[in-house]
Structure 1
């Protein structure tokens, strides 16, 4: 994969239908990118890929480094070989500020993908983590209904992820989808709200090449209805 191209394994609609028993080794995903997010087998926690390392965010908000990516499986992941084309420093009061900033910096990117990273101190940050399926084929709406929300103040770390265009809803998550990890790599989760403590470093890149790999030899995927559940995706992804 070249820099600033999107690689994705499976689709979000499959997670909505509970397709999460199988997948692909995370090592295969890492071969395609060093910046990204996703989940793990049975949707047990969420995935962070930052600086080429993979971390698992657990339901209690703790983070575990994945030291054996060859043996650990993901049913869904999105990554890129991130090389930012824009840098700025700015103070942001929340997700709406970030959305406006990215729109201003990339005015022609409405129908393209963006990769985003912010490093700095956050005055407040709210994130959630999910504990995983309690039965096979349990859908993501039910899994996330048991999510745990965590809040921190004055914490240093990294917010990162993607903006995806509206037409990929169901394939991915349309809009801004961000995760957070602390500088010490001990805590993290899916961003619900944040506010920076002064200015933070923001880096981003626009991407126009999208590579999708679908599961093979996976009965769950082959039997899933994969009908777009736009409202359910919006509800679980916040």
Structure 2
């Protein structure tokens, strides 16, 4: 079992940008490293959230599926940690920017470290997007994102989880705060574009200082990808 609060990642975000999404590893291999995380599925078909060790696929049609057999489901990109919060508080959070300021206040010496984030409670509104997947092999992520579906949930009880990544990993991961939402009944959610809490919610955070990266092997898509850093493109896609 992985130690708590170590960041594990399979593949890199620049690979998704270049359309590398036809192969990967079983999600069960990712879960060996953590119980809290984000990712996607083959052909970028939907958003992944790993919550308390359970994996859910949030699809562009608005449905959410629990992945009951993670050993049989492949991910081309995922990041997880075995979450053990080192800071727990209650706070009203009016926006992604407000959360960013809160995280900086809670962890002023963590500018160049990863943070793992979890919020539980009632959200006044949550605006999410879900990717519909590639239409052909190697279709790049910006083209996939152009067909994303956007949903807004109001007075929604649920959980937001994610990570803050430092600027120097942009292209390897998504620098800044990257989060997904799933509602309490685990039937809907997606990649966070904007949110606002309904009063105080529980905010749990941990600082991560160990980073383990596994790259795809025997994957022609990955081997032939340019993997040129595109910070502006990643920010545009990941919101």
TMscore range, shorter length: over 0.9
Correspondence for 1:106: 107
Q: TM-score, normalised by structure 2?
A: 0.99
* CA distances 1:110-157 after superposition (whole Å, capped 9, x unpaired): 000000000000011100001000010001100011011101110100
Correspondence for 1:159: 160
Whole-Å Cα distance in 1 between the matches of residues 188 and 63 of structure 2?
Answer: 5
| Structure 1: segments with no counterpart, 5+ residues | none
Deviation at 1:229, TM superposition (A): 1.1
**Cα contact 1:55–1:66 (8 A) shared by 2:** yes
Q: TM-score, normalised by structure 1?
A: 0.99
Whole-Å Cα distance in 1 between the matches of residues 234 and 227 of structure 2?
Answer: 12
1:206 and 2:172 are equivalent in the alignment = no
Correspondence for 1:172: 173
Whole-Å Cα distance in 1 between the matches of residues 89 and 42 of structure 2?
Answer: 36
Whole-Å Cα distance in 2 between the matches of residues 218 and 48 of structure 1?
Answer: 25
Correspondence for 1:125: 126
RMSD: 0.5
1:90 and 2:87 are equivalent in the alignment = no
Whole-Å Cα distance in 2 between the matches of residues 40 and 124 of structure 1?
Answer: 26
Deviation at 1:68, TM superposition (A): 1.1
Correspondence for 1:148: 149
Aligned residues: 238
Deviation at 1:233, TM superposition (A): 0.3
Whole-Å Cα distance in 2 between the matches of residues 229 and 145 of structure 1?
Answer: 17
1:72 and 2:73 are equivalent in the alignment = yes
Deviation at 1:61, TM superposition (A): 2.3
Q: Segments of 4+ in structure 1 off by > 2 A?
A: none
